[in-house]
Amino acid sequence: MQVEIIGANSALAEEGLNSSLLIRGGDHVILADCGYNIYPRLQLLDYVEDITAVLLSHLHQDHCGSAVTLLEDIVLTQKRSVYIGGTDWTPLLHACEEPGFISQLMTDNYPFDLETFSVPHGKGMDCRALFIGGKILYSGDTAISLLDTPQAQKASLIVHDATLHCGIPHAYLKDMANAPAEIKAKTILTHYLPQNYKKMAEAAREYGFKGVARAGDVFEV
Ligand SMILES: [Zn+2]
C-alpha cells in the first residue's frame, strides 16, 4: 500500500492544507478526511477520478468541509458509486438533496479492510480513528495518545495528530513521547499550524518519532 499525505495542517492555518491522506492499495484509492481546502487540491492533483472510498474521522470542517462536494463530483458528474465510512455522515448528507445521490453511496460490505474506533475530541462530537488495511492507523483528531492501542501495535504506519501545547483537544506531544521507541519510530505527526513545523520537527527528532507529515510526502507500507 502507498500512503500520500494530501495535507497536514490544522484549522485556521493561513496557508497549508487540512489533515488528509490518500491510500492506494489493490483496486482501491481511499481518502481519509476531506476538509474545507482538500477537494480543490485533489482536483489540482488530478486525483478525483481515482478515488473509490471516502472516510471521515469526524464532522469538524477541517476534516469534512469539502467531502460532499467531492462526492457530488464523483456521483453526479462522473456517474460512479463510492464507498463512504468512518463517522456517521447523516448530518452532512442532509445538505445534498439531488435525486439519486444518496443511493450511490455504499456504506458497508467494504472491499477493503477497515476498522474504526471512537476517540475523545470535541464535546458531543463522534470522532473515529481509522485503521485501514490492517496497516495504517490514522488518529483523525484525538485528545489522547492512541500509541498504546492494539491497532498501534499492529500498524506499519501511524499518522497521528499532535500538539505542542497541553490543554486543547489534541494529543499532547509530551504524552505521546512516553510510547515505546518502536511505536514512535513508525509514527508521523500531523495536524499542526505551518508556523510550528520547525518546532514540531525538532521535537519529533528529540523524542524519536518517524517525522512530521508534509503535503506530498509518500510512504510505502
Ligand atoms: Zn476536530
Domain range for 46: 2-220
Residue pair 147/159 in contact by the 8 Å Cβ criterion: no
C-alpha 88 – ligand 1 centre gap (Å) = 15
pTM, full prediction: 0.96
Q: For the segment 23-69, what is each residue's pLDDT rounded down to a tens digit?
A: 999 999 999 999 999 999 999 999 999 999 999 999 999 999 999 99
Q: 100 C-alpha to center of ligand 1: Å?
A: 30
User: Rg of the chain's alpha carbons, rounded to an integer?
Assistant: 16
User: Residue 214's pLDDT band (boundaries 50, 70, 90)?
Assistant: very high
Count of the separate structural domains present in the chain? 1
Q: How far is the CA of 59 from the centre of ligand 1 (A)?
A: 7
pLDDT at 12: 81
What is the DSSP code string of 137-200? EE--S-SS--TTSHHHHH-SEEEEE-BSSTTSSS-BHHHHTTS-HHHHTTEEEE-B-GGGHHHH
Residue whose cell numbers read 462526492: 71
Taking the centre of ligand 1 as the mean of its atom positions, its distance from the CA of residue 46, in whole angstroms, is 27
Q: Where are the alpha helices (DSSP H) in 22-172?
A: 38-45, 61-64, 67-72, 90-93, 150-154
Q: CB-hemisphere CA count at 13 Å for 91?
A: 11
Q: How much is the mean pLDDT over the chain?
A: 95
Q: How far is ligand 1, taken at its centre, from the CA of residue 181, in Å?
A: 27
Question: Residue with C-alpha cell 439531488?
Answer: 98
- CA 63 to ligand 1 center in whole angstroms: 7
Secondary structure (3-state) at 68: helix
Q: What percent of the chain has pLDDT over 90?
A: 89
Residue 28 alpha carbon to ligand 1 centre in Å: 26
Residue 219 carries which side chain, given as an amino acid letter? F
- Mean pLDDT along residues 151-166: 95
Ligand 1 centroid vs 142 CA: distance in angstroms?
8
Q: How far is the CA of 70 from the centre of ligand 1 (A)?
A: 20
CATH number assigned to the domain comprising residue 162: 3.60.15.10
